[in-house]
Amino acid sequence: MAMAISSLLRPWPLAMATLMVLIIQAQGITRHYDFNVQMANVTRLCGTKSIVTVNGQFPGPELIAREGDRVHVRVTNHVAHNMSIHWHGIRQLQTGWADGPAYVTQCPIQTGQTYVYKFTVTGQRGTLWWHAHISWFRATVYGAIVILPKLGVPYPFPAPHEEVPVIFGEWWAADTEDIMSKALKVGGAPNISDAYTINGLPGPLYNCSAKDTFKLKVTPGKTYLLRLINAALNDELFFSVANHTLTVVEVDAVYVKPFTVKTLVISPGMTTNVLLTTKPVYPNANFYMAAAPYSVIRPGTYDNTTVAGILEYHKPGSPSTPSLDKTLPLFKPTLPFFNDTKFVTSFTTKLLSLASKQYPAAVQQSVDRRFFFTIGLGTLPCPKNMTCQGPNGTQFAAAVNNVSLVLPSMALLQSHFTGLSRGVYASNFPAMPLSPFNYTGTPPNNTHVATGTRLLSLPYNTSVELVMQDTSVLGIESHPLHLHGYNFFVVGQGFGNYDPTNDPAKFNLVDPVERNTVGVPAGGWVAIRFLADNPGVWFMHCHLEVHTTWGLRMAWAVQDGTKPNEKLLPPPSDMPKC
Ligand SMILES: *[C@@H]1O[C@H](CO)[C@@H](O)[C@H](O)[C@H]1NC(C)=O
Ligand SMILES: *[C@@H]1O[C@H](CO)[C@@H](O)[C@H](O)[C@H]1NC(C)=O
Ligand SMILES: *[C@@H]1O[C@H](CO)[C@@H](O)[C@H](O)[C@H]1NC(C)=O
Ligand SMILES: *[C@@H]1O[C@H](CO)[C@@H](O)[C@H](O)[C@H]1NC(C)=O
Ligand SMILES: *[C@@H]1O[C@H](CO)[C@@H](O)[C@H](O)[C@H]1NC(C)=O
Ligand SMILES: *[C@@H]1O[C@H](CO)[C@@H](O)[C@H](O)[C@H]1NC(C)=O
Ligand SMILES: *[C@@H]1O[C@H](CO)[C@@H](O)[C@H](O)[C@H]1NC(C)=O
Ligand SMILES: *[C@@H]1O[C@H](CO)[C@@H](O)[C@H](O)[C@H]1NC(C)=O
Ligand SMILES: *[C@@H]1O[C@H](CO)[C@@H](O)[C@H](O)[C@H]1NC(C)=O
Ligand SMILES: *[C@@H]1O[C@H](CO)[C@@H](O)[C@H](O)[C@H]1NC(C)=O
Ligand SMILES: *[C@@H]1O[C@H](CO)[C@@H](O)[C@H](O)[C@H]1NC(C)=O
Ligand SMILES: *[C@@H]1O[C@H](CO)[C@@H](O)[C@H](O)[C@H]1NC(C)=O
Ligand SMILES: [Cu+2]
């Protein structure tokens, strides 16, 4: 084919060059990254801490690719802990072995081992991110994935003057592995964080921290693209920049219909690209950009502090990077109250697919299989040899349809691929609750959940509709649910119990937002649709790490199709072993 085209073109070298450009545009290039997992000493708040990092950087290195590119990331583990990395939101078409969640798609990369993650970026452009997907290591092991549109393809919004990743994180003065394992030992809730961070920096509102402040230096009259990522472990966040507005243009690497807000909400696992246009003339002021949590749980049980960075204008005619002029007034944004669910709902309902000719919303109009999952907390009885600090002397747990997933000691995908599921998992995950109750009313007296390693099997190309219903067991709460391997359309949401008779008529099947992480509203439900066109074992879990740890996680086993491009490829030869 290539020969045939090139032989028609003259002169030959020019034709060759043109062809190369065409091939690069169509097929992309291969980008190589080296990720060395290593310890680093980092000083934050009033102390120094040894943390796990990639290449000694915190946050980790930015991964840049163009839509259509292949990405090879060589991960070598130099620390005394098991490791695995997830490329959050990357579809991983046929390359499920590169997805990353430990004991789901791979065994961990053990100390001294190397694994090369290989995948192609297909049909996505915008911001995603990568993070450790084992234990609580994603507390410090994370970074941005920037996906540029194909060469020569413009953004569907005015080209920004500059693009800046803004990554929210959560910081503990103590070691997060200690906190997690101590909590598990007593069945209680883990200690809350000491600070939030922007690009790893807690900022001026915490002790000893003013020097560790993220500063966005801007010029008047320009537009900046902020690539927001919520990498916090356990907290959804409000974000606002004093005296400026934010125009949302993309979420989870999918363009949306632009809309402008003063404050936005971003949950762990989500990304949001916003345009910030600076004031037309030098304002003689500086401005805080701030984030603080959204949470409906009992005050005192979540980190209620505020992280701030500073938006600083270049003074006309002054050297290009002045240090902060402290004589200037500093304006602060007003964030909604912590439990302002009304605000969150009004924000999330503004999110709609761009649904243009070039970027259509390919929402499934018909459904092959419907599922209804309860999403919520629960308890497990206290083992005889333990004293438990969970509710009424039990252990905290969490479940999907009352099943708290127990991870096996080998990777689910390996046993799925080899057809040796026996003894590793069962394929009987319930399609709906076994004992229905008034999910948002008085919870059942028995709050126990079941444990198990059960998967839900889907034939290739099943059109799925899934309703996720929050429960009031141990109190209502909002849960950001993340699906691996797919984007889905958010076709409906509401409060109270989902009504299968009347709610579907209100679904948006025209321009619903397409994403990979969605909030199950506190005391409400959300309905999503996706086409199971990617064979493999795909994890779905709450992106609040504390809930995932307690078992708010499940996995879909999507079968191969009949054509070669509908099958999971064989595992790479350097696949880590358990
Ligand atoms: C961190 O600090 C400790 C104590 O000063 C030191 O022993 C260690 O080598 C440092 N680690 C790194 C990676 O620099
Ligand atoms: C959790 O916080 C409590 C109270 O501040 C403290 O005593 C305890 O040592 C902390 N636990 C861990 C694992 O850091
Ligand atoms: C800062 O330190 C003081 C004194 O130790 C303490 O009272 C205060 O709560 C701390 N503030 C923050 C934001 O941590
Ligand atoms: C910033 O907003 C505050 C409150 O709305 C207002 O009083 C102030 O004049 C504004 N300042 C600038 C420089 O825009
Ligand atoms: C944060 O929570 C603590 C403990 O419940 C409380 O004392 C404090 O007032 C809260 N701070 C804010 C800003 O709400
Ligand atoms: C939000 O929290 C405040 C203070 O804790 C409480 O008074 C109020 O009822 C809460 N609002 C909602 C909607 O839960
Ligand atoms: C309790 O007993 C189980 C086995 O019955 C054991 O696996 C576990 O480690 C024990 N826990 C403690 C805290 O001793
Ligand atoms: C704990 O016990 C109290 C009193 O018996 C009861 O009201 C409450 O529902 C129980 N909570 C759980 C989580 O079982
Ligand atoms: C469920 O509980 C809520 C809150 O108590 C109540 O308003 C509603 O009527 C109940 N629904 C049913 C079907 O019992
Ligand atoms: C739950 O316990 C309460 C108090 O013990 C009792 O009145 C009620 O009937 C029980 N509800 C159910 C569904 O068992
Ligand atoms: C969940 O499973 C546990 C353990 O099997 C059981 O005791 C409980 O009744 C179940 N709850 C619901 C709501 O199905
Ligand atoms: C690392 O993973 C291997 C394979 O699952 C397991 O056998 C080993 O215990 C793990 N090591 C640590 C330190 O967790
Ligand atoms: Cu959750």
Position 380 in a domain: yes
Which SS3 state, helix, strand or coil, does residue 178 take?
helix
Tell which one of 392, 447, 449 to mutate to probe ligand 8, the residue whose CB is within 8 A of the most ligand atoms.
Answer: 392
pLDDT of the residue at 4: 39
Q: Residue 6: what pLDDT?
A: 39
Distance between CA atoms of residues 144 and 57, nearest Å: 12
445 lines ligand 10 (CB under 6 A): yes
Question: Does residue 249 form part of some domain?
Answer: yes
**425 contacts: CB under 8 Å, gap ≥ 6:** 408, 412, 415, 453, 454, 455
Domain finish residue from 122, 155, 188:
155
Q: Is 245 in the pocket of ligand 4 (CB under 6 A)?
A: no
Is residue 81 assigned to a domain?
Answer: yes
d(Cα 177, Cα 523) in Å, to the nearest integer? 31
Of 38, 515, 33, residue with least CA distance to 230: 515
This prediction has a pTM of 0.94
Residues 146 and 168 in one domain: no
Atom of ligand 5 nearest to the CA of 305: 13
How many Å lie between the centroid of ligand 3 and the Cα of residue 200? 20
Pocket lining: 300 vs ligand 5, CB cutoff 6 Å? yes
Residue 14 has pLDDT above 80, yes or no: no
Distances (CA, A) of 468 to 28, 236, 497, 512, 532: 37, 18, 10, 16, 17
Write down which residue in 134, 155, 176 finishes a domain: 155
For the stretch 143-184, pLDDT in tens is 999 999 999 999 999 999 999 999 999 999 999 999 999 999
Distance 447 CA to ligand 11 centre (A): 7
The CATH number given to whatever domain includes residue 11 is 2.60.40.420
- Whether 124 and 25 map to the same domain: the answer is yes
Which residues span the domain enclosing 548? 369-566
CA dihedral of 192, 55, 516, 476, whole degrees rounded to 10: -10
Same domain, 310 and 163: yes
pLDDT of residue 12: 47
Distance 39 CA to ligand 13 centre (A): 29
Cα(82) to ligand 12 centroid in Å equals 6
Statement to judge: residues 201 and 138 lie in one domain: no
- Residue from 233, 405, 166, 203 nearest 309 by CA: 203
Does residue 361 belong to any structural domain of this protein? no
* Mutational test site, ligand 12, from 105, 110, 184, max ligand atoms within 8 Å of CB: 110
Cα(138)–Cα(131) distance, integer angstroms: 5
468 has a pLDDT exceeding 50: yes
Which residue has the least CA distance to atom 6 on ligand 7?
A: 385
**188 & 51 share domain:** no
401-422 pLDDT, tens digit each: 999 999 999 999 999 998 876 7
CB of 435 closer than 6 angstroms to any ligand 11 atom: yes
Tell whether 199 and 137 lie within a shared domain.
no
Q: Quick one: 265 and 395 in the same domain?
A: no
Residue 572 belongs to a domain: no
Residue 480 alpha carbon to ligand 13 centre in Å: 6
576 in any annotated domain: no
Q: Cβ neighbours of residue 357 under 8 Å, at least 6 residues apart?
A: none
Does 111 share its domain with 149?
yes
Separation CA 185–CA 193 (nearest Å): 19
Measuring CA to CA, how many Å separate 498 from each of 285, 399, 468? 49, 18, 9
Split into its structural domains, the chain has a count of: 3
Any domain includes 362: no
Is the shortest distance between the CB of 107 and ligand 12 below 6 Å?
Answer: yes
For residue 243 and ligand 4, the question of a CB distance below 6 A is answered with yes
Q: How far apart are CA 530 and CA 486, in angstroms?
A: 7
Residue nearest to atom 3 of ligand 10 (CA): 445
The rounded distance, in Å, linking the Cα atoms of 81 and 383 is 28
**Which residues' Cβ are closer than 6 Å to ligand 1?**
39-41, 50
Would residue 577 count as lying in a domain? no
Mean pLDDT (whole number) for 300-315: 95
Residue 412 and residue 307 share a domain = no
Tokens representing 340 are: 């302002």
Instruction: Tell me the H-state helices in 28-128.
Output: none
The backbone torsions φ and ψ at residue 6, rounded to the nearest 5 degrees and listed phi first, read -65, -30
What residues are paired with 230 via a beta bridge? 168
Q: Whose CA is nearest to atom 7 of ligand 8?
A: 445
Pocket lining: 427 vs ligand 9, CB cutoff 6 Å:
no
- Identify the nearest ligand to the CA of 285 by its number: 4
- Taking the alpha carbons of 74, 138, 182, 198 in that order, is the dihedral positive or negative? positive
Task: Round the average pLDDT of the chain to a whole number and report it.
Answer: 94
Name the residue of 38, 44, 48, 50 whose CB sits within 8 Å of the most ligand 1 atoms, as the mutation to test its pocket: 50
138 and 181 share one domain:
no
CA of 552 to the centre of ligand 13 (A): 7
Q: Does the CB atom of residue 299 touch ligand 5 within 6 A?
A: yes
DSSP letter assigned to residue 153: P
Report pLDDT for 24.
Answer: 52
C-beta 339 within 6 A of ligand 6: yes
| Whole-number pLDDT of residue 1 | 34
Give the residue whose CA is nearest to atom 13 of ligand 12: 81
pLDDT at 316: 76
Domain termination residue (choose one: 155, 185, 203): 155
Band (pLDDT 50/70/90 cuts) for residue 15 is low
Quote the pLDDT of residue 7.
40
pLDDT at 322: 56
Ligand 8 within 6 A of CB of 447: yes
Residues 216 and 185 in one domain: yes
Tens digit of pLDDT for each residue in 260-273? 999 999 999 999 99
The answer on 9 and 128 residing in a single domain is yes
